[in-house]
Structure 1
Amino acid sequence: MSFKGIIFDLDGTLLDTIEDIADSMNQVLSENNLPTHNTEAYRLFVGSGIKNLVRKALPESHRDEATVQAYFQTMYNLYRENCVNKTKPYDGITDLLDDLAKRDLKLAILSNKADEMTQQTARALLPEDYFSIIAGLTDEALKKPNPQKALQMSKEMGIDPKEVIYVGDTDVDMQTATNAGMYAVGVLWGFRGEKELRANGAQKLISHPSELLGLL
């Protein structure tokens, strides 16, 4: 297969965002006298948007919709102000993007992170000129693994979905790739592990960004 485009997940794939996410949510919890979580726990909370993360981080007694919405808004505002404090590209990502930019490939980012923060973190920490499209979550109904946004990106780039590599680090990403008919690549440096990625449709696993070049 000759691939013509790559869609990347953001958190856990291009950027290591976990500390800023954990710090922000733990501050919200601490200020409300609720139990906090270690950073590793947040690796299981991320992947389905900030509101879902807030729901998982709250005690079960605080998960009614009105309470979740209130804490979500607090978390959203705090994280927006602190989303690039400790966040950085994973080792090898900048070199990978430099190499891909020299090839005849279309690149895009699709995240379940709120669009505002997706734009903010990607543009602050990655060479935005390399990407044809950068998109985060604007509508809960379109949240991954719904493939609609991925398919829309493919259409906008003028590429058949079968000619697109979808790169991500969670079950949601692999499901999105499968649902969109794209080639699913799971990364082992992100927030989840090999077992989850394989179980959800990963067609290839890579342990370093440079290994992606072997598919081209």
Structure 2
Amino acid sequence: MKFKGVIFDLDGTLVNSLEDISDAMNIVLKNLDYPIHSYETYQYFIGSGLRNLVSKALPSTHNDDEHIDYCYQLMIEEYSGNCTRKTKAYNGIAELLEFLVSQNIKMSVFSNKSDALTKKIAADLFPGYFEPVVGLTTEALKKPNPSEAIEISKKLGLKTNEIIFVGDSGIDMQTATNAEMFAVGVTWGYRPEEELIVNGAKKTLNTPLDLIPLFQSDEVNVLI
């Protein structure tokens, strides 16, 4: 069967948002006289929502829930005004999206970033391409919980096995597997290919255009 839809993760998959996220959190840390972190370190903080990132970035001596909540609000205030300052689509994404549109492939975004920020970035960088765009509204629904992905499939009018789920992390691959979607990992994001494979990737991509053949054939070669 040919796939009829695709759900994309946002950060590390469609867009490189590492610097904007890192810069915002480092401003918060610096203002509180806490140690800051490198972009390379933040790569491993991203993926489980911004509150989780804040917790990982804070020193262990200042990591209680109340302080995490306080710093999370500071980070959101800083990041909201600068979330597309350096953030850009990865090379090849624009061409991939144009191909998918030409083939009438249904496209959605599902991210662990807050719903408001997910919608803002998608609207600013990819106006009109994705429907629905879903971010985090409730911690319990965060990936790898498949509930939102399954709900997206219903809104797209597709069976879950007709959808490719594309992401850059093990959490994304787990989400795809839990939702009974075809898990595709991208190697240009924030996590190594090994993490994607161990967590259930059936295919890995080195460039965005490597996704195209999956929509052109009834048979798909998967990782063993």
What's the counterpart of residue 52 of structure 1?
52
Letter in 1 for 2:133: I
Deviations 1:15-52, CA, capped at 9 Å, x for gaps: 00000000000000000000000011000000000000
User: RMSD of aligned C-alpha atoms?
Assistant: 0.6
Specify which structure has the higher proportion of helix.
1
Looking at structure 1, the residues matched to 212 and 37 of structure 2 have their Cα atoms a distance apart, in angstroms, of 37
Amino acid at match of 2:54: V
Offset, 1:104? 2.2
Amino acid at match of 1:199: V
SS state at 1:109 partner: strand
Aligned partner of 2:100 in structure 1 is: 100
Which residue is equivalent to 2:77? 77
Query: 1:178: which partner in 2?
Result: 177
**Which residue of the partner structure matches residue 208 of structure 2?**
209
In percent, how many aligned pairs have the same letter? 50
Matching residue's letter, 1:20: D
- Measured in 2, the distance between the counterparts of 1:120 and 1:76 equals 13
- Describe the superposition over 1:126-183 as per-residue Cα deviations: whole angstroms up to 9, x where unpaired: 1x31212111101111000000000000011110000100000001100000000000
Cα deviation for residue 84 of structure 1 reads 0.6
Q: Which amino acid aligns with 2:130?
A: F
Other-structure match for 2:135: 136
Residue matched to 1:122: 122
Unaligned ranges ≥5, structure 1: none
Counterpart of 1:146 in structure 2 is 145
Per the alignment, in what secondary structure is the counterpart of residue 45 of structure 1? Answer: coil
| Alpha-carbon distance in 2 for matches of 1:140, 1:197 | 23
Cα distance in 1, alignment partners of residues 198 and 139 from structure 2:
25
Divergent runs of 4+, >3 A = none
Work out the CA distance in 2 between the residues paired with 1:37 and 1:98. 37
The aligned residue for residue 158 of structure 1 is 157
Q: Secondary structure at the match of 1:130?
A: coil
Q: CA deviation at 1:120?
A: 0.9
Partner of 1:65: 65
Q: Which runs of 5+ in 2 are unaligned?
A: 216-224
Return the TM-score normalized by structure 2: 0.95
Q: How many residues align?
A: 215
